[in-house]
């Protein structure tokens, strides 16, 4: 069992080591060639993940295939890290499901897209997206990505209003690249909408999103709550997908953690708990067993002692 656990742990860490190298190299390569700050920022998690995977794999290999005495500290470090990672992944998975259980786009009559409201999402997500610095970075990335750039491939351009209304828009395009339907603007092209001839209705005039809309390509509806809601809908969808994958990852981490514990135990890593940290009850039990054995040995030797004494007396 000891050889099996060491072999499996070593083989698994060898595979992760080989995987970490292309991940790390790709992250560094694309960060160096990134044209915008957003693209560079997106590569940071990739580089961090590749670097952490590389270090953990090396520690796991040293613990699994190293000399027994020298490998024990590496195994301890590996097992502790894996335990913390299991707890962290479990907590993040639960958190992701909790904060993404609210929010969904509303269907619009005669439209192929859905529209989104900020108030439908969890309070934690609303608070994060409402932070001025956070939204400034998000808005900058949206502008750099040209989500409303008017390219046919974006799916945001139609030859006429009828064709545009039938198109499927992403949540971000629906919230950021056009005014909400309730405002009553008239479609001219994908990024230009005319206000009603009679002006905005009383309800629309009191709607912050209707007032925030602008035909300027650098403005559009980027300051609308509908745009923030579209971003949150995208985040929610991706977080749910990641949380689902994390369930399988959690099972794998538990298996790896168990292998690490088996390898540590077979390597003598738990000797401290056997020799140096025995409980008083265990100590008394062991002392009692020693006394019992000593008494039995004494009783067993008594007949021989008596016989020897009789022989000496007879000879005398």
DSSP letter assigned to residue 108: -
pLDDT digits (tens, 9 = 90+) for 209-254: 999 999 988 889 999 999 999 999 999 998 888 889 889 889 988 9
Tens digit of pLDDT for each residue in 120-151?
999 999 999 999 999 998 988 888 888 887 54
Cα distances (Å, whole numbers) of residue 50 to 24, 28, 35, 89, 250: 4, 10, 22, 17, 18
The angle formed by the CA atoms of residues 131, 148 and 236, to the nearest 5 degrees, is 45
- Per the CB < 8 A criterion, the answer to whether 13 and 62 are in contact is no
Beta strands 106-107; 114-115: pairing state: antiparallel
Check residue 35 and give its pLDDT: 67
Instruction: Give the residue carrying structure tokens 């693209």.
Output: 39
Four-point Cα dihedral 124, 125, 130, 132, nearest 10: 100
User: What values do phi and psi take at 114, rounded to 5?
Assistant: -110, 160
Q: How many CB atoms lie within 10 A of CB 291?
A: 10
Instruction: Report DSSP letters for 245-281, one per residue.
Output: HHHHHHHHHHHHHHHHHHHHHHTTTTHIIIIIS--HH
For the whole model, what pTM was predicted? Answer: 0.73
Q: Name the token pair of 288.
A: 């009692």
pLDDT reading at 60 higher than 90:
no
Q: If you count DSSP H runs as helices and E runs as strands, how many of each does the chain have, helices first?
A: 12, 4
Higher pLDDT, 95 or 49: 95
């Amino acid at each position: 069992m000891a050889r099996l656990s060491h072999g499996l742990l070593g083989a698994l860490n060898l595979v992760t080591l080989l995987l970490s190298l292309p991940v790390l190299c790709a992250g560094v390569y694309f960060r160096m060639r990134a044209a915008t700050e957003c693209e560079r920022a997106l590569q940071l998690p990739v580089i961090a993940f590749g670097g952490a995977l590389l270090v953990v794999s090396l520690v796991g290999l040293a613990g699994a295939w190293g000399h027994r005495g020298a490998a024990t500290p590496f195994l301890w470090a590996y097992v502790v890290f894996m335990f913390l990672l299991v707890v962290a992944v479990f907590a993040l998975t639960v958190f992701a499901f909790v904060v993404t259980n609210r929010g969904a786009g509303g269907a619009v009559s005669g439209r192929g897209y859905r529209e989104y409201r900020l108030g439908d999402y969890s309070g934690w997500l609303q608070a994060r997206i409402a932070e001025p610095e956070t939204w400034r970075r998000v808005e900058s990335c949206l502008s750099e990505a040209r989500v409303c750039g008017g390219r046919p491939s974006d799916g945001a351009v139609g030859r006429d209003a009828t064709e545009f209304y039938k198109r499927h828009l992403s949540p971000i395009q629906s919230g950021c690249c056009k005014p909400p339907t309730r405002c009553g603007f008239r479609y001219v092209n994908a990024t230009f909408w005319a206000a009603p001839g009679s002006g905005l209705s009383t309800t629309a005039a009191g709607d912050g999103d209707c007032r925030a809309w602008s035909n300027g390509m650098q403005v559009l509806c980027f300051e609308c709550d509908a745009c923030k809601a579209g971003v949150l809908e995208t985040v929610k969808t991706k977080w749910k997908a990641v949380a689902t994958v994390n369930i399988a990852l959690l099972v794998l981490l538990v298996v790896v953690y168990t292998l690490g514990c088996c390898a540590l135990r077979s390597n003598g890593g738990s000797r401290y708990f056997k020799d140096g940290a025995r409980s008083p009850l265990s100590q008394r039990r062991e002392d009692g067993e020693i006394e019992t054995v000593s008494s039995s040995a004494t009783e067993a030797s008594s007949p021989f002692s008596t016989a020897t004494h009789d022989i000496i007396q007879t000879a005398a």
